[in-house]
Structure 1
């Protein structure tokens, strides 16, 4: 993943920037990653690499659709970065669109913006096309006979369920339960304290 990030930044610097605007904007989309699969080491390496080797080229680094639990971890990781890089880093969860609209003039349509240029539309179609082709095949049962195994088609529908939602809910519930348990222990310790009873 680090090699891919370097490759994309190099491509942006060589072919997309102009002398009037020499900075690049990097967008890391964490959609589909569960809180337990976020590669924090990779993100740390990418951020350090951008800060060390492209200090004047990085205009802004957006990390969007980051699960809430990972956002808390990321906030501690951000403190390691240099102050100038820290200012350029913007982290957002599911409300990423507002952050992007505040910082990017024309937001691509596949990220919820209004840009309808052919490049954005083609990227949007490439992102949507594989899923649509699979769903069309599922709905029409195209090329599937009664004797064929349809377990692959069943997995397509199961993928539509957002697994990160249940992980977030379980994690939040566990954290709240743990906090309530500690509060209960603190209250019980306070009530059984001899100094408290003598007052």
Structure 2
């Protein structure tokens, strides 16, 4: 029994270490404050929801780790497994939230990772409808170019960073034409935080 416990402990430590190396940007976190601000939660419900949200992320990370350890796995299969995990999680969350809060929360949870990041940025910037239209148009116009660069430089992180730099610089210059100084500072701060996470 003692041998089994030691083996299980070593396995858990290995998985955590692997997750931190391979999926550092996927480290489980509580719900972003800008999302909870969109809902009317009491402290107890917020605590329960955060605990459940962290568990959701852990389940997704574990699914991805196992898939990576097993080698080549069909992406559609992984996507379905993660979809099932989300559906199970949302079923539990529905019991915690009222209809309006559940709608806000489920919309956020069902977004793809990139969509969630963009949504959080837009909430933090507090864009006006006109600003949002321009912001979305700039992002959409650069999306294909950025995707092409990432594909061409796959496996070459430094080369990708160098190729993306002029695109990102131009993008920020375009944002500066309609965002306030305060919004630009928030955007730069969010970008620094993202770069810091990527370099870990």
Where is the helix percentage greater, Structure 1 or Structure 2? 2
**Structure of higher RCO (CA pairs closer than 8 Å, 6+ residues apart):** 2
Q: Which of the two has higher C-alpha Rg?
A: 1
- The structure with the greater share of residues assigned to strand is 1
